Chains A and B, each alone.
Chain A
């Protein structure tokens, strides 16, 4: 006798679908230091760390730009080390990528000099 299984249909929204593509973060059993300083920094990825974890990352050694330090701003994210969500996460960008990835305060000021700003 065949068995028919009925499963409820759900209209998944795009944010729900997108959630499934979100990176799960550090793998189980992978030490935070190895994940951040090894896996992420080796690939020059953007790194965000909560205030409890950020002091453990040697950004100078890995040639990273500490956005929180020079730009005085944080981001909302799940910490790459402890996975805790925080709106005080500190963003680190690989230095050579900064001109294309982040508008620094100095540059933001510079682009508005000698300019007419429509809508500003």
Chain B
């Protein structure tokens, strides 16, 4: 994850901290040091309580004195602004860079209110998530999913045109300002868009950048989110 902008419009505040473990990836969220920890620690895919910032560089954690003359005090650089909005690529699974899954329509909808596919929309549940047209009759149209079933996702605001068998849709478990969880991928620098709504670490979606076939939407759709449990927020826990 990288800083996209600050809600306040100001400049980001940056600090270097000692680490509690090796940080192998840039863009990995770091959190408040654990009990008896030596420094800031990596978040987990489902936990970013007391978030501090995302790594701007990598670092190898050592505890012993070094023979090469370098200090054993290893540092990671973080943007610590609590109002930072972070941009992350959506991944179709726990592994970074997985393409989002296509959902082809298997039953047409004459009113544009349902996306009926051969797969379940209720497990993992996508209720209150987003569905958008990848190709066919409704490319580049996104709607909030308001109910789900074992075969379809239903929207309240109809797509502009009827859905047609063979049209492909994409979906993700986010809707801006709603929800307060975003699941991270295994190496923590992307977001796993294949999981159920309401699962994951403490981030709130702020914006969705969704693309269709022409924009390579399966591999180039983004989530912008901000921490809901920042260590420097006005309501420390």
Contacts and interface: CB of A to CB of B under 8 A. Distances in A.
B140 interface: yes
A73 to B, nearest CB: 6
B213 to A, nearest CB: 10
Q: How large is the interface on A (under 10, 10 to 19, 20 to 34, 35 or more residues)?
A: 35 or more
Nearest to B40: A21
B11 A87 contact: yes
Nearest to A91: B14
A17 interface: yes
Interface string B67-94: 0001101010101000000010000000
Interface in A1-31: 13-15, 17-18, 21-23, 25, 27
B14 A97 contact: no
Interface residues of B, number: 59
Nearest to B205: A119
Interface string A82-120: 000001010101100100111100001001111111111
B14 A120 contact: no
A23 B18 contact: yes
Contacts of A15: 231-232, 236
Contacts of B56: 46, 93, 97, 101-102
Interface of B: 2-4, 10-18, 25-27, 32-33, 39-40, 50, 52, 56-59, 70-71, 73, 75, 77, 79, 87, 130, 132, 140-142, 175-177, 189, 205-212, 214-215, 220-222, 224, 231-232, 236-237
Given A13-B236, A45-B77, A111-B222, 17 more contacts: A15-B236, A17-B32, A21-B40, A23-B75, A46-B14, A74-B11, A75-B12, A75-B14, A76-B10, A77-B15, A91-B14, A97-B26, A100-B27, A102-B2, A114-B140, A119-B176, A119-B205
Sort A-B residue pairs by CB-CB distance and give the 7 closest, nearest first.
Answer: A119-B176, A114-B215, A46-B77, A23-B16, A100-B26, A118-B208, A77-B14
